[in-house]
């Protein structure tokens, strides 16, 4: 694989300004300058607010073979970082980062989660990978293999996955993996927060409640997200909803809804109007039947009436036959 270089990865695609980094995941990670982070074994691959890379953790001893041997059809990786065991991380660089703050539209992030899930399936990646830190491909402690130099658009990755691209993310929290957990957590938390905001007047109590609810959602995942990541999402949702939703705003919304309901007919009125329309339709139908019955000789249509019509038809037929015979004989 040729194309991308360590220098290009660092200068053009690695975007965090103060990334999280560490040499030992068991000891935790902390924010550092870019120069300090590049000396660490593990670094944050994307900024907190933007998703600029999609990374999959391959917990198999043949990571490179799965990434570039293409046992399944998938786009060529941008880079692969392996350890001595052959296990490693596979990454794809995005040309247009996806916003993942509380102000972002949920659709692009959901689409990115589906793409990441397709990539994970393609290389049989670890569904429990949090996706926050990656093996630093520029560090001497790993064995990097550089791939495609050109960054990908999400739709190109989705197209390259073919049938491996999922049509939708799983609905159940326990089935969510990778970035899908973040999407599910964000959606479930914000929808609950929209309705719950009006019950709180103290901001500190509100933020603590949102965090508790977010942690409860996180327990539903088969492999939960890290507490710092859940806390960041909860804080972001709590602050945005607190700013945008207020008790005064609730009064305005309820007033508007009340006026709309007042302008609409009640259920009883709607049923009454429906009954009137139904009666008018029935009367019109009966009127047409009456006219048709009269044309045919009456609605009763008794056996005597039927016999009379048959006799009249037979008499008229006999007259026509006699007339034709007379014309043929020249009378």
Range in 77-81, 82-86, 98-102 the model is least confident about: 98-102
Q: Can you tell me which residue has the tokens 């927060």? A: 193
Rounded average pLDDT over 83-94:
93
Please indicate, yes or no, whether residues 174 and 302 belong to a single structural domain of this protein: no
Q: How would residue 292 be classed by pLDDT, with cut points 50, 70 and 90?
A: low
Please indicate, yes or no, whether residues 60 and 133 belong to a single structural domain of this protein: yes
In this predicted structure, what is the pLDDT of residue 104?
72
**Three-point CA angle 34, 40, 43, nearest 5°:** 65
Give the sign of the dihedral formed by CA 117, CA 171, CA 210, CA 220: negative
Specify the number of domains making up the chain. Answer: 3
Q: Is the pLDDT of residue 275 over 50?
A: yes
What's the domain range around 27?
A: 6-167
Q: How far apart are the first and last CA of the chain?
A: 110
Digit-coded pLDDT (tens) for 179-234: 777 788 888 888 888 888 887 888 888 888 888 888 878 777 767 777 888 888 88
Please indicate, yes or no, whether residues 240 and 297 belong to a single structural domain of this protein: no
- What average pLDDT does the chain have? 80
43 membership: H or E segment, kind and range: strand 42-44
Digit-coded pLDDT (tens) for 117-152: 889 888 988 887 878 899 999 999 999 999 999 999
The rounded distance, in Å, linking the Cα atoms of 223 and 37 is 27
Phi, psi dihedral angles at 94 (to 5 degrees): -100, 135
In this predicted structure, what is the pLDDT of residue 39?
95
The rounded distance, in Å, linking the Cα atoms of 195 and 54 is 33
Q: Which residues pair with 51 in a beta bridge?
A: 98
Please indicate, yes or no, whether residues 151 and 223 belong to a single structural domain of this protein: no
In this predicted structure, what is the pLDDT of residue 299?
46
Query: Residues of 102-140 as b/e, b for ≥16 C-beta within 10 angstroms?
Result: beeeeebbbbbbbbbbbbbbbbebbbebbbbbbbbbbbe
Rounded average pLDDT over 260-286:
63
Answer whether residue 1 is part of any domain: no
């Amino acid at each position: 694989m040729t194309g991308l270089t360590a220098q290009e990865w660092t200068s053009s695609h690695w975007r965090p300004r103060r990334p999280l980094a560490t040499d030992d995941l068991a000891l935790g990670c902390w924010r550092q300058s870019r120069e300090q982070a590049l000396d660490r074994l593990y670094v944050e691959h994307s900024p907190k607010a933007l998703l600029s890379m999609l990374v999959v953790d391959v917990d198999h001893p043949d990571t490179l073979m799965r990434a570039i041997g293409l046992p399944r059809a998938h786009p060529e990786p941008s880079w692969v970082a392996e350890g001595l065991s052959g296990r490693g991380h596979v990454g794809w660089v995005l040309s247009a980062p996806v916003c993942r703050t509380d102000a972002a539209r949920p659709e692009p992030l959901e689409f990115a989660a589906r793409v990441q899930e397709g990539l994970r399936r393609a290389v049989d990646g670890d569904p429990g990978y949090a996706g926050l830190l990656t093996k630093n491909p520029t560090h001497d402690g790993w064995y990097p293999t550089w791939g495609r130099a050109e960054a990908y658009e999400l739709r190109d990755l989705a197209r390259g996955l073919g049938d491996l691209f999922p049509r939708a993310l799983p609905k159940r929290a326990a089935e969510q993996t990778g970035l899908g957990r973040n999407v599910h957590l964000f959606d479930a938390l914000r929808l609950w927060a929209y309705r719950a905001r009006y019950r709180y007047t103290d901001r500190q109590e509100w933020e603590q409640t949102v965090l508790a609810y977010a942690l409860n959602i996180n327990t539903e995942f088969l492999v939960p997200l890290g507490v710092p990541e859940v806390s960041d999402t909860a804080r972001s949702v709590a602050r945005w909803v607190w700013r945008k939703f207020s008790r005064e705003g609730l009064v305005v919304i309820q007033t508007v809804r009340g006026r709309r309901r007042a302008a609409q007919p009640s259920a009883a009125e709607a049923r009454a109007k429906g009954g009137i329309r139904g009666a008018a339709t029935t009367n019109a139908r009966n009127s047409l039947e009456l006219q048709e019955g009269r044309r045919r000789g009456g609605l009763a249509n008794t056996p005597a009436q039927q016999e009379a019509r048959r006799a009249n038809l037979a008499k008229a037929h006999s007259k026509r036959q006699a007339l034709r015979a007379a014309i043929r004989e020249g009378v």
